[in-house]
Amino acid sequence: MMVCLQPPFLQAGTMRVVVIGAGVIGLSTALCIHERYRPVLQSLDVKVYADRFTPLTSTDVAAGLWQPYISDPSHPQEALWNQQTFNYLLSHINSPNAANMGLALVSGYNLFREAVPDPYWKDIVLGFRKLTPRELDNFPDYSYGWFNTSLILEGRRYLQWLTERLTERGVKFFLRKVESFEEVARGGADVIINCTGVWAGVLQPDPLLQPGRGQIIKVDAPWMKHFIITHDPERGIYKSPYIIPGIQAVTLGGIFQLGNWSETNNIQDHNTIWEGCCRLEPTLKDAEIVGEWTGFRPARPQVRLEREQLHFGSSNTEVIHNYGHGGYGLTIHWGCALEVAKLFGKVLEERSLLKMPPSHL
Amino acid sequence: MPWLLLIGQGRATVPRADLQAGSAQPMDRVRIAVVGAGVMGLSTTVCISKLVPRCSITVISDKFTPETTSDVAAGMLIPPTYPDTPLHKQKQWFKETFDHLFAIANSTEAEDAGVLLVSGWQIFRSIPAEEVPFWADVVLGFRKMTKDELKKFPQHVFGQAFTTLKCEGPVYLPWLEKRVKGSRGLILTRRIEDLWELHPSFDIVVNCSGLGSRQLAGDAKIFPVRGQVLKVQAPWLKHFIRDGSGLTYIYPGISNVTLGGTRQKGDWNLSPDAEISKDILSRCCVLEPSLRGACDIREKVGLRPSRSGVRLEKELLVRDGRRLPVVHHYGHGSGGITTHWGTALEAARLVSECAQALRTPAPKSKL
């Protein structure tokens, strides 16, 4: 005899969600919401609107190393979200699909010119330790450093993987330049997830959000198995050379320009990156350049992750903001997606679409 | 015996007229033959050229890169233990090799020489008798793995994490060959069946023939330990993983990942075995499931020149009044690339001693 279990939370009523933005934040948030609520809400319909899809998003330019800033976050929740993301990714590392996700373990060096306190994430990453004197001999410009094992999550592959997962679930993608929340609300959206990244100011002015322009050079240097990140406290984060191996190519960087909206590659920045990285790692001098890209980190003193009710006409539209992840979007994305899913669950409760949130949240 | 010369790209020199070794006349230019063009033959040649003045060196082999045993080896610097070689010597050879390659890895030569730094883990299914091996302070950053790191390997209870070097035969050997030619060494293709073939054209023979020494040196103590490996494409792998038994390992390199392996004593078969390949892939996938996505799988077989200790010594061959000084330099088993520079330096010192002896006028005897 077959026993059919009636899902206890099944309710009538539609729930149309539009996610604006198809970078790592938009797609992972869409997936997180769909995974958690589709089983308990048959009427859940999720769409993704974006004017840029992979390979043209900011995520595609990122090197993809999981590493938060070395100073404590201004918003303590961010530390938790970073940790949740690392653990989530690590749980996939032994899956045969890891490489398809763009995911791999990678070890490497953080280099400093003087002793610094350990970062708050030292127990999140694996095998964190200080560098030995012999290791530092390799890096004559630096006198102190860390070694640890972290993760690479390559933006392009991960976005492709997320797109496949969403497509399997029936989530549809629309190439659309959204001019206002209102247009999306009047189009029938009940909840809007705002993952517009560095361009969030177009939909709602935000003086705290600025582009943190970055430029990177990708080279073919398959002998490089470690990341090398240098730090110069006087210059600031990402302004000191870094070398991050990806699945196929190695990313060289070291540019962070607040307020610069120029999307074209700049020759001085190219030289800064090249000279800095070759000085750090002389073996790069003969490496073949396979590409060069510019992207905008959505820089903000902290991530904007919160609900907002907007009123258009007679209906209320819920907006959940999830933008401003600076240079640590890939590092923090899943923790933020989980938080958005929690907030979304509250919205469902308030609209009596859900008696209570599913117990696994 | 007339010479059959298939000349490589070096300069050809005409062997000088017969000069009896050990005669009263002091020798000017010492003619040295190095037999074998694997990592031992080539690195010993380079070391000799730096140490011994006024010599000419000829490398003679039937096999060259990429067809030597050194080309099959992954080249990971993780030392084995030789039961018959004093531990302090093994450590010295390893340290000299490590320091030599470390300098190359950090120089602009790294890519051309095929040398790179790799970090990773050696993991054990039960706690090993020796938790800290003799070479722990030679590699970089050696420490025990944390509990969190071991979670990646649910069947293993203990592990060591460190950073070491990889030295890839197919790139390193051509780089060494360039250095040999750069110091005016000659490289010749010929299969030597008997070391006496080299007399009287050469004054000193350096025997780096690996397994060939069974015949050339009549050494029954050297035997093959067959190793089969797979070379695959899996560029997302950045760490080495080695099971403490040494039988299963994953070694990411510059252009491929080596998966291993086998240790088949006394097996001379150089053809890959398909069943073994399946088994290697399966064992490696247990340690690293993402290898199921590996592609472009190539099989290779090498015969480790195994011996209970490395033979690194002089021998004076005498026959019918003829004398031929030989320096033996073979028998490194699975630790060839790991110790090559240290043993090559020592072999070069032995050659230098032989050259000195030849250059010292012999005392007049009463007879």
The answer, yes or no, to whether residue B21 has pLDDT greater than 50, is no
CB B114 within 8 A of CB B171: yes
* Position B105 in a domain: yes
CB contact under 8 A, A94 and B152: yes
* Position A123 in a domain: yes
Our measurement of the distance from residue B320's CA atom to the centroid of its chain's CA atoms, rounded to an integer in Å, reads: 34
Our measurement of the distance from residue A19's CA atom to the centroid of its chain's CA atoms, rounded to an integer in Å, reads: 15
The answer, yes or no, to whether residue A12 has pLDDT greater than 80, is no
* Position B16 in a domain: no
pLDDT single digits (tens) B300-358: 999 999 999 999 999 999 999 999 999 999 999 999 999 999 999 999 999 999 999 99
How many domains are there within chain B?
Answer: 1
Kindly report the number of other CB atoms within 10 A of residue A224's CB atom.
27
* Position B206 in a domain: yes
Average pLDDT score over chain B: 92
* HSE value, Cβ hemisphere, 13 Å, CA-based, for A25: 33
Tokens 């003969």 sit on residue: A286
**C-alpha–C-alpha distance, residues B114 and A219, integer Å:** 18
In chain B, residues with a C-beta closer than 8 Å to the C-beta of A138 are 106
The answer, yes or no, to whether residue B4 has pLDDT greater than 80, is no
**More confident site: A360 or A198:** A198
CB contact under 8 A, B238 and A104: yes
The answer, yes or no, to whether residue A356 has pLDDT greater than 80, is no
Residue pairs between chains A and B whose CB atoms are closer than 8 Å: 94
Query: Chain B interface, mutation test: which of A156, A225, A248, A250, most B Cβ atoms within 10 Å?
Result: A225
* Position A196 in a domain: yes
∠ CA B165-B170-B172 to the nearest 5 degrees?
55
CB B213 within 8 A of CB B205: no
Question: Which of the four pLDDT bands, split at 50, 70 and 90, describes residue A312?
Answer: confident
Of B143, B252, B292, the CB nearest to A129: B143
In chain A, residues with a C-beta closer than 8 Å to the C-beta of B236 are 98-99, 103-104, 152, 247
Question: Which of the four pLDDT bands, split at 50, 70 and 90, describes residue B10?
Answer: very low
Beta bridge partners of A149: A107, A126
Question: Which of the four pLDDT bands, split at 50, 70 and 90, describes residue A286?
Answer: confident
Contacts of B200 (CB under 8 A, 6+ apart): B18, B19, B20, B21, B322
C-alpha distance from A129 to closest chain B C-alpha (Å)? 9
**C-alpha–C-alpha distance, residues B171 and A89, integer Å:** 36
DSSP per-residue codes, A104-117: EEEEEEEEESS--P
* Position A8 in a domain: no
**Mean pLDDT, residues A164-173 taken together:** 97
Query: Chain B interface, mutation test: which of A109, A134, A150, A223, most B Cβ atoms within 10 Å?
Result: A223
Q: What are phi and psi of A329, to 5 degrees?
A: -60, -50
CB contact under 8 A, A96 and B236: no
CB B274 within 8 A of CB B156: no
Our measurement of the distance from residue B50's CA atom to the centroid of its chain's CA atoms, rounded to an integer in Å, reads: 19
Residue ranges making up the domain that contains A137:
15-351
pLDDT of res. A6: 43
* HSE value, Cβ hemisphere, 13 Å, CA-based, for B38: 26
Question: Which of the four pLDDT bands, split at 50, 70 and 90, describes residue A185?
Answer: very high
Query: Any binding-site annotation on B304?
Result: yes
Of B110, B238, B252, the CB nearest to A283: B110
**Mean pLDDT, residues B198-205 taken together:** 96
DSSP per-residue codes, A270-304: HHHHHHHHHHH-GGGGGPEEEEEEEEEEEE-SS-E
Query: Is A140's Cβ below 8 Å from some Cβ in B?
Result: no
pLDDT of res. A10: 43
C-alpha distance from A222 to closest chain B C-alpha (Å)? 5
Question: Which of the four pLDDT bands, split at 50, 70 and 90, describes residue B83?
Answer: confident
pLDDT single digits (tens) A86-144: 999 999 999 988 999 999 999 999 999 999 999 999 999 999 999 999 999 999 999 99
Among A222, A216, A231, A240, which residue's Cα sits nearest to residue A284? A222
CA-based Rg of chain B, rounded to a whole angstrom? 22
Average pLDDT score over chain A: 93
The answer, yes or no, to whether residue B365 has pLDDT greater than 80, is no
pLDDT single digits (tens) A248-260: 999 999 999 999 9
Query: Is A26's Cβ below 8 Å from some Cβ in B?
Result: no
* Position A177 in a domain: yes
pLDDT of res. A355: 62
The answer, yes or no, to whether residue B363 has pLDDT greater than 80, is no
pLDDT of res. B203: 97
* Position B255 in a domain: yes
What CATH number is given to the structural domain containing A206? Answer: 3.40.50.720
Closest residue in A to B138 (Cα–Cα):
A134
The answer, yes or no, to whether residue A11 has pLDDT greater than 60, is no
Cβ burial, residue A287 (10 Å; 0-12/13-18/19+): buried
CB contact under 8 A, A248 and B111: no
**C-alpha–C-alpha distance, residues A50 and A298, integer Å:** 16
* Position A1 in a domain: no
Kindly report the number of other CB atoms within 10 A of residue B253's CB atom.
24
**Mean pLDDT, residues A259-284 taken together:** 97
Query: Any binding-site annotation on B249?
Result: yes
CB B267 within 8 A of CB B226: yes
**Mean pLDDT, residues A281-309 taken together:** 96
Query: Chain B interface, mutation test: which of A89, A95, A149, most B Cβ atoms within 10 Å?
Result: A149
| pTM listed for this prediction | 0.91
Contacts of B142 (CB under 8 A, 6+ apart): B132, B136, B160, B161, B162
pLDDT single digits (tens) B85-141: 899 999 999 999 999 999 999 999 999 999 999 999 999 999 999 999 999 999 999
* Position A6 in a domain: no
Cα-Cα end-to-end distance for chain B? 31
* Position B194 in a domain: yes
pLDDT single digits (tens) B223-278: 999 999 999 999 999 999 999 999 999 999 999 999 999 999 999 999 999 999 99
Closest residue in A to B235 (Cα–Cα):
A247
Query: Is B147's Cβ below 8 Å from some Cβ in A?
Result: no
* Position A63 in a domain: yes
pLDDT single digits (tens) A20-71: 999 999 999 999 999 999 999 999 999 999 999 999 999 999 999 999 999 9
CB contact under 8 A, B293 and A149: no
Question: Which of the four pLDDT bands, split at 50, 70 and 90, describes residue B366?
Answer: low
How many domains are there within chain A?
Answer: 1
* Position B8 in a domain: no
Residue ranges making up the domain that contains B127:
30-359
Query: Is B321's Cβ below 8 Å from some Cβ in A?
Result: no
**C-alpha–C-alpha distance, residues B170 and B67, integer Å:** 9
* Position B119 in a domain: yes
Q: What are phi and psi of B220, to 5 degrees?
A: -80, -5
What CATH number is given to the structural domain containing B310? Answer: 3.40.50.720
Closest residue in A to B145 (Cα–Cα):
A127
The answer, yes or no, to whether residue B172 has pLDDT greater than 90, is yes
* Position A129 in a domain: yes
CB contact under 8 A, A283 and B290: no
In chain A, residues with a C-beta closer than 8 Å to the C-beta of B290 are 93-99, 104
